[in-house]
């Protein structure tokens, strides 16, 4: 396996479209267990995604996207990400995300039933990821 080509294939698929398909040298993303970075020839791994920023290091620079939930399948020479929601920074409505953040924080402070709490926490994390990526 002495190859010099560090690139491998990445696919990000959402229910509505093929969000991204290209060659990258590294992909970084957030899983439920923490952040991971994947180079070529990673061990085969299926992992569950948490709301976070995906960084794709392409040959001619980095690209970032917000991915909210789903899972990723890592094989040696390709990574397939099945995301329920994925967005490029320019697709995010910043005002909406800010309002969502405020709403989620208020709900978290109210601390009602367990289910609402969990939901509000996820909503807050989504809003924070959206804001984070637009401000870079």
Partner 1 sequence: MASMRDIKRRKSSISSTQQITKAMKLVSTVKLQKAKSRAEETTPYFNHMYATVSSLLKRTGNIDHPYLNKREEGKKVIITVTSNRGLAGGYNSNIVKLITNSDIPKADAQIYAIGSKGEDGLKAKGYEIKESKPEIMEAPTYDDAREVCDSVLKAYEEGEVNEIYLAYTHFKNTVVHEPKLLKLLPVEIPEDDQQKEETPKSTALMNFEPNEEEALAMIIPKYVSSLVYGALVEAVASENGARMQAMDSATSNAEEMISDLTLKYNRARQGSITQELTEIIAGADALS
Site string for partner 1, 5-44 (x = CB under 8 A): --------xxxxxx------------xxx---------xx
Specify the residue, 16 or 90, whose C-beta has the smaller distance to partner 1.
Answer: 16
Gap between the Cα atoms of 9 and 34, Å rounded: 22
Binding-site size, partner 1 (CB under 8 A): 24
Specify the residue, 48 or 111, whose C-beta has the smaller distance to partner 1.
Answer: 48
CB of 22 to partner 1, least distance (A): 15
Residue indicated by tokens 């290209």: 22
CB of 109 to partner 1, least distance (A): 25
Q: Are 65 and 12 in contact (CB under 8 A)?
A: yes
Angle, alpha carbons 21-22-25 (nearest 5°): 135
Gap between the Cα atoms of 82 and 105, Å rounded: 28
Q: Are 54 and 64 in contact (CB under 8 A)?
A: yes
Specify the residue, 62 or 96, whose C-beta has the smaller distance to partner 1.
Answer: 96
* DSSP reduced 3-state for 4: coil
CA 112 to chain centre: 28
Contacts with partner 1 in 65-124 (CB under 8 A)? 69-71, 73, 75-76, 80, 82, 84
Gap between the Cα atoms of 104 and 123, Å rounded: 6
Specify the residue, 12 or 124, whose C-beta has the smaller distance to partner 1.
Answer: 12
* 45 binds partner 1, rule: CB under 8 A: yes
Residues that bind partner 1 (CB under 8 A): 13-18, 31-33, 43-48, 69-71, 73, 75-76, 80, 82, 84
């Amino acid at each position: 396996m002495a190859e010099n080509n560090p690139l491998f294939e990445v696919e990000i698929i959402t229910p509505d479209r093929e969000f991204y398909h290209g060659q990258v040298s590294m992909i970084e993303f957030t899983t439920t267990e923490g952040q991971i970075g994947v180079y070529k020839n990673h061990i085969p791994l299926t992992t569950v995604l948490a709301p976070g920023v995906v960084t794709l290091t392409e040959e001619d620079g980095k690209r970032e996207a917000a991915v909210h939930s789903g899972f990723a399948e890592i094989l040696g020479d390709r990574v397939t990400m099945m995301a329920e929601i994925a967005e490029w920074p320019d697709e995010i409505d910043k005002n909406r995300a800010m309002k969502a953040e405020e709403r989620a924080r208020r709900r978290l402070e109210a601390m009602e039933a367990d289910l609402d709490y969990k939901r509000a926490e996820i909503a807050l994390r989504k809003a924070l990821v959206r804001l984070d990526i637009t401000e870079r």
